[in-house]
């Protein structure tokens, strides 16, 4: 019985997959060529270029991913490839010397999220994400497209930190869609919605003044004066905005204290904006 158990244990050990580890591949710089000129490796593997000539050479990636110092005879340079793809390289001191590395593995991925999916006009949101390689010092391009716009704009180029994460602060003035791009791969697009900034204040003893801040003109659009009641906010007056997106108007003459706000619907705020309400204002009429 004991011999049987030992045999079973040995069989299980043999059945286990062999552990894999990153490899290092040597590319020699010989007179007039890289040897080999084209290599295929896995993500996480390293290529070491060694100068086997009497002259000087410098290995540079065609797309700027890496660049060696000038290598004298016998000197080497190593680079670890953490993302799948095809990487062309050349000798900057002898441009006719060219080569490439094909890196197998999962395709590069980049994520993107916003800490505040809705902001008030004039506010900001922090975009954050991570690249699949987890590498530091990688460049990620953030682009934006405002609702109603026909073109996309580049808003930032950020650099990843030691764990492959990145952040960028944006201040959209209208609903805007953002995308992160790394190594030709784009993240899922996210949209940061914008609410108009609505102000309401006293204007003398019996009047109120309101102003709505957006990127667009709201002249002729309506806002609604609402009073707080036991069942919530009820609309008591419609107010038409003037050429500066504001209006001065008389407060309802009701005896005692009353709490008001101004509210604008998404339809009145216009394309690219959500509905919004102002801060509360207390009014008092003695009689």
190 pLDDT exceeds 80? yes
Please enumerate in sequence order all residues whose Cβ is within 8 A of that of 249, keeping only pairs 6 or more positions apart, or say none: 207, 208, 209, 210, 225, 237, 239
Q: Tell me the pLDDT tens digit for each residue of 95-116.
A: 999 999 999 988 889 999 999 9
Query: Pick from 133, 125, 130: which is nearest to 180 by CA?
Result: 130
Distances in Å between the alpha carbon of 88 and those of 22, 135, 183, 207?
Answer: 21, 20, 14, 71
Of the candidate CATH numbers 3.30.1360.200, 2.60.40.10, 1.10.3720.10, 3.40.30.10, the domain formed by 196-285 belongs to: 2.60.40.10
| 20-104 carries CATH number 3.40.50.300 | no
Average pLDDT for 66-91: 92
49 pLDDT exceeds 70? yes
E strand spans, 6-160: 24-30, 33-35, 38-42, 46-51, 59-61, 76-80, 85-91, 94-104, 113-114, 118-120, 125-130, 139-146, 153-159
CATH of the domain spanning 113-194: 2.60.40.10
Listed by start position, the domains of the chain span 20-104, 113-194, 196-285
Are 20-104 and 196-285 in the same CATH fold?
yes
């Amino acid at each position: 019985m004991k011999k049987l158990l030992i045999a079973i244990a040995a069989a299980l050990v043999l059945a286990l997959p062999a552990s894999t580890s990153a490899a290092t591949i040597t590319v020699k710089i010989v007179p007039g060529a890289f040897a080999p000129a084209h290599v295929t490796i896995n993500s996480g593997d390293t290529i070491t270029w060694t100068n086997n000539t009497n002259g000087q050479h410098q290995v540079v990636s065609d797309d700027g991913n890496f660049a060696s110092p000038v290598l004298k005879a016998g000197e080497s340079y190593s680079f670890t490839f953490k993302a799948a793809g095809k990487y062309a390289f050349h000798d900057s001191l002898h441009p006719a010397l060219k080569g490439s590395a094909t890196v197998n593995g999962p395709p590069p991925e980049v994520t993107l999220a916003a800490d505040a999916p809705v902001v008030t006009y004039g506010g900001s949101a922090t975009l954050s994400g991570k690249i699949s390689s987890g590498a530091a010092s990688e460049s990620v391009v953030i682009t934006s497209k405002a609702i109603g716009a026909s073109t996309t704009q580049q808003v930032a180029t950020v650099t990843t930190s030691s764990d492959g994460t990145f952040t960028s602060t944006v201040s959209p003035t209208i609903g805007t869609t953002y995308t992160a791009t790394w190594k030709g791969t784009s993240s899922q697009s996210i949209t940061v919605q914008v609410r108009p900034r609505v102000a309401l204040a006293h204007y003398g003893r019996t009047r109120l003044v309101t102003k709505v801040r957006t990127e667009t003109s709201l002249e002729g659009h309506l806002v609604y004066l609402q009073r707080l009641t036991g069942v919530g906010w009820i609309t008591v007056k419609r107010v038409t905005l003037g050429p500066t997106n504001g209006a001065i108007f008389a407060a309802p003459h009701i005896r005692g204290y009353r709490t008001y706000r101004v509210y604008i619907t998404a339809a009145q705020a216009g394309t690219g904006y959500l509905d919004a309400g102002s801060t509360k204002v207390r009014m008092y009429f003695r009689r």
